[in-house]
Amino acid sequence: MGEQVNKNVEEQKLEELFKKACEIEAERPVFLKTLLDSYIYILGSSSVQNDGEETHTLTESSQVQIKSWNRENGSQVLPFFTSLEKLQHAIQHHENYLKMKTQSFLS
Q: Please report the pLDDT score of residue 41 as a whole number.
A: 93
83 DSSP assignment: S
Q: Please report the pLDDT score of residue 62 as a whole number.
A: 80
Closest CA to 82 of 36, 23, 45: 36
Q: Please report the pLDDT score of residue 29 as a whole number.
A: 97
Q: Please report the pLDDT score of residue 50 as a whole number.
A: 63
Q: Please report the pLDDT score of residue 74 as a whole number.
A: 94
Q: Please report the pLDDT score of residue 61 as a whole number.
A: 79
Q: In order along the chain (107 residues), what is the average pLDDT of each group of 10 residues?
A: 69 92 96 94 82 69 88 94 91 90 90
Alpha-carbon distance of 94 to 91, in angstroms, equals 7
Residue 69 bridge partners (DSSP):
77
Q: Please report the pLDDT score of residue 45 as a whole number.
A: 86
